[in-house]
Amino acid sequence: MASNRSSAITGHRVFAPFVTWIPGVLGSLANIAAIIVHCKRFRKNTNTVQRVSSIHHNNGNRLHATPSYLLAHLAFADLIGTFYMTAIAAVDVYLDRQSYPSNDRSQYYQWPNSSFCAVLRFLNCVSTIASSSFAVLIAIERSKLILHYRALSWQDYRITILVITSIIWMIAIITASIVTILSRTLTRIPFDDTYDVNGLCIYLNTSPEILFYSATCYLAYCFISYCLVIIIYAHIIFTLGWCQQSIPSRQHHSRNDAILVRNEIRPWLIFFAIAIAITDATTWLPLSLAILLQPMEINQTVASLKYVSISVILLQKVNMAIHPFIYSSPISNVNNILINS
């Protein structure tokens, strides 16, 4: 007997392709394209960081506000997240189209305990932590460009940036490994549990200790990271709007030059980046707070937030599909004032 079950992720057959396949597939393609583009730009600028005041003009590159090295790392971190969403959507379709007796739902119960689901859980954690970290680095880089633009050669901080990016990936991998190992060794999803709750491989119905660890890691790392992004971009907006004299770093610049530089900055991109960071920071917040505030009734609380958790994971992956565009867009139209500074 064929299954008549609707999509386990959305609860509806019609909307399932839009909320699972679109952010997964299109986000993956967008991030792959971003990685290719920024790797090519990075190879064209092997001696200097892609900064407005230090880039070579005859290399055929479009002037950029952020080093392609960081953008490529961010795109790769987001690619891991969009791949996770694509894999979840594919498994959901596969299980939905399987034929099995009406009283046999073992396939749905086996999936949350499978090794592939554990791998996806690991990839999702790595992607979330790494993406938030690189968003902070990019925000700092753009703040330095707009408010303190000085020529910095690639040799000046090549080792530092390599060490920082390596540490970010190590933290993401170690944290995700602990969560995944604890989930695999200490918890088995009961056979009578529902696929709807655990189909996204975020293991909602698990031990309070694991959920507490996951929520704490999120609040202590990702939430703080995106709050830093918001503060940095807000500082840029405040400085450009109320402290115009802080932009010129040379005495020969006039107030009109400062106003011209301020007008050349694209404020809508900064506001958009703030909106994306706010969304990233708050997506997991309700679920994490519910886990931390009600540890004695953890299973009932999390189960009641099933659709909240599903919305959270989908919104997060939609943002990861948008990241390549918002963070790759030049934040300023380069002019002679900046180049000659």
Domain boundaries, the chain: 16-339
Kindly state the average pLDDT of the residues 212-236: 78
What's the pLDDT at 62?
Answer: 38
What's the pLDDT at 170?
Answer: 94
What gap in Å lies between CA 284 and CA 222, rounded to an integer?
9
Each residue's pLDDT tens digit, 188-223: 555 444 444 456 676 555 566 666 666 677 777 788
What's the pLDDT at 233?
Answer: 82
> Which are the contacts of 143, defined by CB distance < 8 A and separation ≥ 6?
232, 233, 235, 236
What's the pLDDT at 224?
Answer: 85
Question: Tokens standing for 258?
Answer: 């400062």
Full-model pTM:
0.73
Are 306 and 325 in contact by the 8 Å Cβ rule? The answer is no
DSSP state of 65: S
Q: Where are the alpha helices (DSSP H) in 148-222?
A: 154-186, 195-198, 208-217
Kindly state the average pLDDT of the residues 65-87: 81
Between residues 26 and 80, the one the model is more confident about: 80
> Which are the contacts of 334, defined by CB distance < 8 A and separation ≥ 6?
52, 63, 264
Count of positions (residues) in the chain = 341
Does the domain made of 16-339 have the CATH classification 1.20.1070.10? yes
Query: 7-11, 152-156, 211-215, 274-278 — which one is most confidently predicted on average?
Result: 274-278
Question: Tokens standing for 75?
Answer: 């795109």
Each residue's pLDDT tens digit, 12-25: 444 455 566 777 78
What's the pLDDT at 169?
Answer: 94
What's the pLDDT at 4?
Answer: 42
* Cross-strand partners of 99: 2
Q: Is 245 exposed, middle or buried (0-12, 13-18, 19+ CB in 10 A)?
A: exposed
What's the pLDDT at 51?
Answer: 41
- Tell me what percent of the residues of the chain surpass a pLDDT of 70: 44
Are 316 and 124 in contact by the 8 Å Cβ rule? The answer is no
Q: Which of 8, 197, 204 is nearest to 95 (CA)?
A: 8
Kindly state the average pLDDT of the residues 22-34: 81
